[in-house]
Structure 1
């Protein structure tokens, strides 16, 4: 158990120059997964659609198999429960992702937040805070939300195909 905790904390530290690229990628995947899980955890009720949105986002963002996404999500949930801030995760994401990748991540976070058909004030706050920490301009943040809402309306429309 101590080795697992040490590995977890080592993954949260910034990578040393010249460090293992695979370890750096895993730490970035974990940081991203934690942000998605934070949105899922933000409201008081749990909805299975939120968990599926997290898994779908991880599969899409990192081209993971279903079982890999599941394991990453489980680790992210544990990490999120033990975490005291968002900055240690968002700083890693901010350094690694270009703006289009950040916007794609914000869209995935909106999908998680809207998966249960209800947007809580806490979910909205987590999304706004993450976008701010990632230096996503307000207009781009709003447009990401609008794109996801439009996408969900089209999927919910009668006769929609998917």
Structure 2
């Protein structure tokens, strides 16, 4: 168990320091985007943390402890980041549109996890979908699916 956790952590670390500054692992990149949505408003809840964790497990099948390690690393990277491009770029380059749309839907799910969508969460999401080159109609449908999954049928 411990060895597999260490192997997982080693897999998240880039090969050298210069590469780390330029290109995070795809798992870390996706995790940072989910965490950015969670951290968008200052009063993020345990519901949002749980939504991030579930999203990480869905995107990258892993144990709960591996998801926790990835989320901790993502929170640290998110706090230190000066922009989102370093995290959106690898996803935009390597993932096809259905995979990117699933990530966007999961991010909307994080935003709606506490039962409401703040303006800063909405703004953060719009910045991310722009950087991922998601067509407006597609991102609206992803948002509607996430909103329905959260059981919210009222307008924002």
Task: Classify the TM-score, shorter chain.
Answer: 0.7 to 0.9
The aligned counterpart of 1:153 is 151
Counterparts of 2:80 and 2:71 in 1: how far apart (Å)? 14
Report SS of the residue matched to 1:52: helix
Give the deviation of 1:44 after TM superposition. 1.8
**Structure with greater Cα Rg:** 1
State the match for 1:52 in structure 2. Answer: 50
| Gaps in structure 2 of 5+ consecutive residues | 1-12
RMSD over aligned CA atoms reads 1.9
State the match for 1:13 in structure 2.
Answer: 22
Residue 7 of structure 1: CA displacement? Answer: 5.8
| Structure 2 match to 1:108 | 106
- Gap regions ≥5 residues in structure 1: 15-25, 155-162
Q: Scaled by the length of structure 2, what TM-score is found?
A: 0.83
Q: 1:63 to 1:133 in 2, by over 3 A?
A: same
Residues of 2 paired with 1:144 and 1:8: CA distance?
A: 36
TM score, norm. by length of structure 1: 0.80
Offset of 1:11 from its aligned partner?
2.9
Question: May I ask how many residue pairs the two structures share in their alignment?
Answer: 139
Matches within 5 A, 1:25-104: 27-104=25-102
The 3 A distance-change label for structure 1 pair 106 and 8 is farther
